[in-house]
Structure 1
Amino acid sequence: MSDERSYMSGLGGHFESEAVGGALPKGRNSPQKPAFGLYTEQVSGSAFTAPRHENRRSWLYRMRPTADHRTFVRYEGAKLFAPGTVDDPLPPNRLRWDPPADLPEGTDFVDGLVTMLANRDPADLEGVAVHLYRATKSMDGRVFVDADGEMLVIPQQGTLHIFTELGAMDVAPGWAGLIPRGIKFRVEVDGDSRGYVAENHGLPFRLPDLGPIGANGLASARDFETPLAWFEDRDEETEVVQKSLGSLWTTTLDHSPLDVVAWHGNYAPWRYDLSRFNAIGTVSFDHPDPSIFTVLTSPSDVPGRANADFVIFPPRWMVAEDTFRPPWFHRNVMSEAMGLIHGEYDAKADGFAPGGLSLHNLMSGHGPDLDSWKKASNADLQPAKVDGTLAFMVETCWPYRPTRFALDRSQPDYDEAWAGFPKAELP
């Protein structure tokens, strides 16, 4: 398998690609007789009548129609994926997790998915869930499709080789990859692979507006890479595992459904190198809100309040004068789930390891721990590079609820991170 693949660039752009010359119709979306006896199929990620700039759809030209499948039945694998959240009253405690030591072994990507946090019913077409995964073997003779939402995959260890209906892509640690809602895919791995998945049930992720920043900065559309057409011509049994309305289902086909020979449109998988994010910061005093680190956003029906934001904290220079440079103490109406890909997070001295997770639900007070506060309060404020670290946050306006798996494994002493702060001395 080659690590070198061909891609088209530009998030949200209209693309066209064919794996066999002449497979893509010219000038028509649905000709009476597509080339080679292919079947025309449209996949829509938005309503037909969505505004043009928000309309997501692609036309696929495939060897068999997706409609050719037998009855789905309940899938009994992946016991920890989408099990439902804890229904008991949830105390407003801050929660943090070490990288779980008991994730399933000997599993592929699907059976290795473990749901940690979720909110909203997927049927509401709102909300987000955060999963961990551990895959020690490749998916063999099976594919997965999520009808509940799009899947933002964030590897922490090991490269994922993701084969989708619209093309194949390699997603390594330091990158993020997205599989749109309803697109089938298979994941192959080279060894023990771990990471995170943000499952977005709401409006598709898109680049945030830049406002006063102007035309440039943050993530650039040109750096999002969409794979070229690729297909499998495989006439053998293939299991399809589908997530639908929060449950897992399975059926078996007599062929591989990854048989799209050509396609065109703007509803497609992509990958993004997080090191290409252009971080913006202050050159005077204070520092901007963390929204300045937003890579992607899924809007809600309230302007400015996101259904989900994907935010990263990458290497960057800190130069502000007379400023507490780490995140200040704060409470807000957004709920923050944070993960760490590598390095150390600058607002926590210890206890937050790569592959771990933390949760600060809406209006819970949080910020730096005591050691980080002391260090930042007494630092000689020279220009300094925050380097060797990459953290991310999946922020949402909906409160997260943990699963039983997550609640049983949270650090019991996380609240102690804010113990021992001295009382201010007034004159």
Structure 2
Amino acid sequence: MNRTIQLIRGKTAPRAHAELPDGSYEEEWGRLGFSGTVSHLYHKHPPTGWTDIDGPLKPHSLSPLAMNRLDGERVVFLENSDVAIGVQLVIADWNYYFRNGEADELLFVHQGSGNLETHVGTLHYERGDYLHLPRGTTYRFCPEELTELLTIEAFTAPFDIPERGIVGQHVPFDPSLIEYPTPDQTSVWNGDKSGKFQVKIKRLGAITTFTYPHNPCDVIGYKGDLAPWRINVRDFAPLLSHRQHLPPPAHITLISGGFVVCTFLPRPLESEPGALKVPFYHSNVDYDEVLFYHDGDFFSRSGIDAGMVTFHPAGFPHGPHPKAIQRTDKKTFTDEVAVMIDTRRPLELTQAGKAVENSDYWKSWME
């Protein structure tokens, strides 16, 4: 809905995220994940200035890469009926093919490089890649080095590139930079030690193994508009404004049923005098918010390192840590890289996720 009427009551800033009244703290109170109706509230104290939280609405900090995992094993730490978020370790060449028959997959390469052999050709992958595998893709990993993946499985709708509106189709990335595989029989696997080929198909949470006497990935050509692909985040051109901090929807990379995937990338910080340089306080009352920290200095969070995850449930008031605000005074650039998943339905921590949680994370705003 296009709303042109703006209520102004009491002491306010002349515009969002800049020139705040002296000593005040801005909170964005909005609907529909920063895309709906919104008001900006100016507090005397930070909305995160609590001394205790008694109840289930708490933030979570996880270290999923610390989980004990077998080679090739995917471990989910957050899930709902639309999406499952996990990590996967790949050490050696798979001696089987895998096909997800219940979800589209988006894999983010946190560490490592190698080849991803699919039924329509091979993609070489490296650190910082998104690997998009439509439901039904048959593939196997052949790593050149130890590979750590963030895995995002979409159950109710395929991944899609959102409409960009007035900014055009070439941000945050030019679609011509997407790489698709070409069938190449010279790179195809020759089977296990007995010369047989196994395809493990996941459906309704169970694995069924199909064994073939020949390589089932024997495609010599394909045409259409369904295929796996890869793109690296270094090829992205993030939207930004030197005058005002932009909300997360400006950084949406892909959309699916019930959730979006955003990519936060290195960028100059706001240089306009009086403009906020850190994310504003908010509660995001309609979406759960998950951040996977990939690289760089995560200046808005204290005690967060690469490979960690934060999970802020819908309605939880949050924003920069107190120390982060102090650190931004002379900062002109951020080099952080992070993947965010915002979900419309509530997420649940799995037992694996609970096992690697920092239960005192909620206290970090009190430091």
> TM-score scaled by structure 2?
0.78
CA distance in 2, matches of 1:372, 1:395: 23
Is 1:328 aligned to 2:276, yes or no? no
SS at match of 1:227: coil
Amino acid at match of 1:313: F
- 2:270 paired residue number: 319
The amino acid that maps onto 1:373 is: I
Q: Cα distance 1:319–1:92, how it changes in 2: closer, same or farther (>3 A)?
A: closer
Q: How many angstroms does 1:261 deviate by?
A: 1.1
TM-superposed deviation, 1:413 = 1.0
Partner of 1:204: 158
How far off is 1:345 after superposition?
1.7
| Mapping for residues 120-159 of structure 1, pairs under 5 Å | 120=81, 127-140=82-95, 142-159=96-113
- Matching residue within 49, 58, 73 for 1:93: 58
In the other structure, the counterpart of 1:116 is 77
Structure 2: distance between partners of 1:320 and 1:214: 25
Deviations 1:1-29 (A, max 9, x none): xxxxxxxxxxxxxxxxxxxxxxxxxxxxx
Q: 1:99 to 1:405 in 2, by over 3 A?
A: closer
Partner of 1:21: none
* Equivalence for 1:386: 334
Of the three residues 236, 251, 257, the one matched with 1:277 is 236
Taking a change above 3 Å as real, the CA distance of residues 315 and 280 of structure 1, as seen in their structure-2 partners, is: same
Contact conserved, 2:113 with 2:146, CA < 8 A, in 1? no
The 1-side partners of 2:269 and 2:97 are apart by 45
Q: Deviations over 1:52-83 (max 9, x none)?
A: xxxxxxxxxxxxxxxxxxxxxxxxxxxxxxxx
TM-score in terms of structure 1 length: 0.68
Q: Using the aligned pairs only, state the percent identity.
A: 23
Segments of 5+ residues of structure 2 without an aligned counterpart are 1-54
Matched, 1:263 2:215: no
1:362 to 314, 322, 332: 314
Distance in 2 (alpha carbons) for counterparts of 1:221 and 1:337: 26
Secondary structure in structure 1 of the residue aligned to 2:208: strand
- Partner Cα distance (1:405, 1:313) in 2: 26
Give the aligned residue type for 2:334.
V
Question: Aligned-pair distance for 1:211?
Answer: 2.1
The counterpart of 2:254, out of the listed 283, 292, 296, is 296
Classify the secondary structure of the residue corresponding to 2:215: coil
Deviation of the 1:166 alpha carbon: 0.8
Q: Is the 8 A contact 1:136 1:191 kept in 2?
A: yes
RMSD of aligned residue pairs (Cα, Å): 1.9
Instruction: Say whether the 8 Å CA contact 1:173–1:341 is kept in structure 2.
Output: no
Matched, 1:249 2:208: yes
Residues 100-131 of structure 1 show CA distances to partners (whole Å, capped at 9, x for unaligned) of 334224x2x2xx211111111xxxxxx11111
| The one of 185, 198, 207 aligned to 1:239 | 198
**1:223 pairs with 154, 158, 177, which one?**
177
Worse overlay, 224-233 or 238-247? 224-233
Asked if structure 2 preserves the Cα contact closer than 8 Å seen for 1:238 and 1:255, the reply is yes
Task: Say which SS state the counterpart of residue 263 (structure 1) adopts.
Answer: coil
Aligned residue number for residue 305 of structure 2 = 353
- In 2, distance between residues paired with 1:114 and 1:227? 27
- 2:270 and 2:276 in contact (8 A); partners too: no
Q: Secondary structure, in 3 states, of the residue corresponding to 1:371?
A: helix
Unaligned runs of 5+ in 1: 1-89, 121-126, 301-306, 421-427
Q: Residues 65 and 87 of structure 2 are in contact (CA less than 8 Å); yes or no, is this contact kept in structure 1? A: no
Q: Taking structure 1 as reference, are residues 357 and 252 closer, same or farther at Cα in structure 2, changes over 3 Å only?
A: same
Secondary structure of 2:176 counterpart:
helix
3-state DSSP of counterpart to 1:203: coil
Distance 1:195 1:354 in 2: 13
Rounded Cα–Cα distance in structure 2 between residues aligned with 1:215 and 1:129: 28
The number of residues matched between the two structures is: 306
Matched residue type, 2:270: V
Aligned residues of 1:156 and 1:354 also touching (Cα < 8 A)? no
Shift of residue 248 of structure 1?
Answer: 2.5
Aligned to 1:398: 345
Q: Contact 1:318/1:386 (CA < 8 Å) preserved in 2? A: yes
Q: What's 1:339 paired with?
A: 292
Structure 1 position 292, deviation (Å)? 0.6
Cα offset for 1:188?
A: 1.0
CA drift of 1:269 comes to: 0.6
